[in-house]
Amino acid sequence: MSRLVVVAGPSAVGKGTLVGALRQRRPDIWVSVSATTRPARPGEIDGVHYFFVSPEEFDRMIAHGELLEWAVVHGVNRYGTPRGPVEERLADDVPVVLEIDLQGARQVKESMPDALFVFVAPPSFDVLLERLEIRGTEDAAERERRMETAREELKAVDEFDVTLVNDTLDEAVAGLEAIVASAR
């Protein structure tokens, strides 16, 4: 059986782009499609980017134990990983990647401690601040709040098995590909 690979990291570190590029390059690796209560953005397709569900449907999925993990992300919408498809693919020995937030990764660590946990890190704290678009346009309190969140999120690195620095996209994708290969 393949070992589940969980990719997480601080907000704005670029993990979505990274996993998207991996998917393009390696169609044989299955990337889980999450359920979310957030509305679809233009161009997003139900069942491809996410399963867009109502809050009631999300409640039902939780009540029936259908989610491997779930979390409220950015204080508003809920996101969760449907359990069934992940378990089926792992049983079929298909490599599986989850791209989720830190809270979700902690839950998976509780339920599937044998998974391989990959922390996507920025090249530096300053680069992360740039990617968070922390600029002079926010007031000082808001800037400080976001920086504090970023600092807290970076501390989670110690909870992970592997750190992958997201500097240039091509190199990071190659790194992730190698990590997924090592989890087989």
What is the contact surface with ligand 5GP in residues (CB under 6 A)?
A: 11, 34, 38, 69, 71, 73, 79-81, 99-101, 103-104
Q: Are 166 and 14 in contact, with CB atoms under 8 Å apart?
A: yes
Q: How far is the CB of 59 from ligand 5GP (least distance, A)?
A: 16
- Residue nearer to ligand 5GP on the CB measure, 106 or 136: 106
Whichever of 140 and 147 has its CB closer to ligand 5GP, that residue is 147
Q: Which helix (H) or strand (E) holds 148?
A: helix 140-155
- Give the CA distances from residue 13 to residues 65, 86, 113, 124, in Å, rounded to whole numbers and listed in that order: 30, 24, 24, 10
Q: Cα separations (Å) of 130 from 35, 100, 123, 133, 134? A: 29, 21, 11, 5, 6
Closest distance to ligand 5GP from the beta carbon of 140 (Å) = 26
Q: Which residue is nearest to ligand 5GP (CB)?
A: 104
Largest CA distance in the chain: 52
Contact of 65 with 107, CB cutoff 8 Å: no
Nearer Cβ to ligand 5GP (140/162): 162
Minimum distance from residue 28 beta carbon to ligand 5GP (Å): 22
Supply the minimum distance, in Å, between the C-beta of residue 53 and ligand 5GP. 12
The rounded distance, in Å, linking the Cα atoms of 21 and 82 is 22
Q: Please say which residue, 69 or 160, places its beta carbon nearer to ligand 5GP.
A: 69
Q: Which is nearer to ligand 5GP, 11 or 141 (CB)?
A: 11
